[in-house]
């Protein structure tokens, strides 16, 4: 059983600690399992909050193939549509969601409960995107296929958790550059720095990175597991030469002026906390309207734990309130 590290234990909400020790803590963490083994049987290693809404037969959940603008790629997206009996026939505003998982784990089951909550609370479509199987322009593929999805191309918001937040962040810059208006970007526990630069957590300039290097659920060991899969050492020089720096480290974005309204979410006991908040300040300094909230006493993926954590329920309610305001619902 994985115990909570004594350095972090007093800073965590006791409700989370009990939940962790009773559930996730009794299993081997996925970053201690070879990736090949996980991909052979992903259901065996699925998180407790995974839900395949399509297989469960939940109403108004459908997968679509949406082609990209150049017609060379089709992206599978999962759309959660509101009930026309109460929301009307549409077209509806749309929120594009990218799940988390360090660019290594996860699929369209990760954020199903969140997607269902949003579409059942607001008269809008939530389109869930698997970042491992789509290009960064997925949000624009959704926009270009509005008639298929019964959505309004003029009323789009984007968001994501962790690695998904990084996808949404990149899309917010691309949309600004392409003069495509977005109503809101929700960046939940986003990474902001390029972690493969550091040999120890203490080398990071952000205090939370070393303070919570032993935090449960995301910590230095888990980050080290992700790095070679996402940034193979023999490819880093080429990646750095050909890809904009902010795609890897949000804080390297050269210009944040004109980015859409943004909600930045951080977790109190998360090594990424301070760099996420630093990116929020960078947006504010560029004149962007930013809402930021730190949820105390919880680790990086707290927002999935709505059945046990008030902080997770607060996060969902905050997202719904801001989406309602942004889309004028």
- The per-residue pLDDT of the chain, averaged, comes to 92
Residues 103-123: what's their mean pLDDT? 94
Q: Before 91, cis peptide (omega within 30)?
A: yes
71 pLDDT more than 90: no
pLDDT value at position 37? 86
**Does residue 3 fall inside a structural domain?**
no
**Does residue 244 fall inside a structural domain?**
yes
The helix (run of H) or strand (run of E) holding residue 159 is: strand 151-161
| pLDDT, tens only, 275-302 | 999 999 999 999 999 999 999 999 999 9
Look at the chain and report how many structural domains it folds into. Answer: 1
Q: From CA 256, how far away is CA 140, in angstroms rounded?
A: 20
This prediction has a pTM of 0.94
| pLDDT, tens only, 19-41 | 998 886 556 778 888 878 888 87
**Does residue 32 fall inside a structural domain?**
yes
250: containing domain: 9-327
18 pLDDT more than 70: yes
**Does residue 135 fall inside a structural domain?**
yes
What band does 136 get if pLDDT is binned at 50, 70 and 90?
A: low
**Does residue 4 fall inside a structural domain?**
no
**Does residue 2 fall inside a structural domain?**
no
| pLDDT, tens only, 41-54 | 777 777 888 999 99
Specify the CATH number for the domain of residue 153: 3.40.50.1820
**Does residue 47 fall inside a structural domain?**
yes
Contact in structure between 187 and 160 (CB atoms under 8 Å): yes
Q: From CA 19, how far away is CA 312, in angstroms rounded?
A: 13
What band does 85 get if pLDDT is binned at 50, 70 and 90?
A: very high
Q: From CA 264, how far away is CA 216, in angstroms rounded?
A: 21
Q: From CA 250, how far away is CA 312, in angstroms rounded?
A: 25
131 pLDDT more than 80: no
pLDDT value at position 145? 87
**Does residue 1 fall inside a structural domain?**
no
Q: In the chain, what percentage of residues exceed pLDDT 90? A: 76
| pLDDT, tens only, 236-264 | 999 889 989 999 999 999 999 999 999 99
């Amino acid at each position: 059983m994985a115990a909570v590290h004594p350095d972090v234990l007093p800073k965590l909400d006791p409700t989370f600690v009990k939940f962790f020790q009773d559930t996730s803590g009794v299993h081997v963490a996925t970053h201690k399992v070879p990736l090949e083994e996980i991909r052979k049987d992903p259901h065996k290693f699925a998180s407790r909050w995974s839900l395949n809404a399509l297989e469960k037969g939940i109403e108004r959940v459908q997968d679509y193939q949406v082609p990209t603008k150049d017609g060379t790629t089709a992206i599978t997206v999962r759309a959660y549509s509101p009930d026309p009996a109460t929301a009307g026939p549409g077209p509806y505003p749309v929120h594009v969601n990218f799940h988390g998982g360090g660019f290594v784990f996860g699929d369209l089951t990760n954020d199903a409960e969140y997607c269902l909550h949003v579409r059942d609370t607001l008269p809008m479509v939530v389109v869930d995107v698997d970042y491992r199987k789509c290009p960064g322009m997925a949000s624009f593929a959704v926009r270009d296929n509005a008639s298929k999805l019964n959505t309004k191309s003029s009323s789009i918001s984007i968001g994501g958790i962790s690695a998904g937040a990084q996808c949404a962040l990149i899309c917010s810059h691309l949309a600004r550059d392409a003069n495509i208006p977005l109503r809101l970007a929700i960046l939940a526990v986003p990474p902001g720095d390029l972690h493969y630069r550091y040999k120890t957590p203490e080398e990071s300039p952000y205090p939370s990175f070393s303070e919570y290097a032993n935090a449960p659920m995301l910590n230095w060991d888990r980050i080290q597991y992700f790095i070679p899969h996402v940034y193979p050492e023999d490819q880093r020089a080429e990646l750095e030469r050909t890809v904009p720096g902010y795609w890897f480290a949000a804080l390297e974005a050269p210009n944040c002026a004109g980015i859409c309204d943004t909600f930045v979410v951080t977790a109190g006991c998360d090594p990424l906390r301070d760099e996420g908040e630093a990116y929020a300040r960078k947006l504010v300094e560029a004149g962007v309207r930013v809402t930021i909230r730190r949820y105390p006493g919880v680790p990086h993926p707290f927002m999935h734990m709505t059945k046990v954590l008030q902080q997770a329920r607060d996060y969902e309610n905050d997202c719904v309130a801001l989406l309602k305001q942004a889309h004028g619902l």
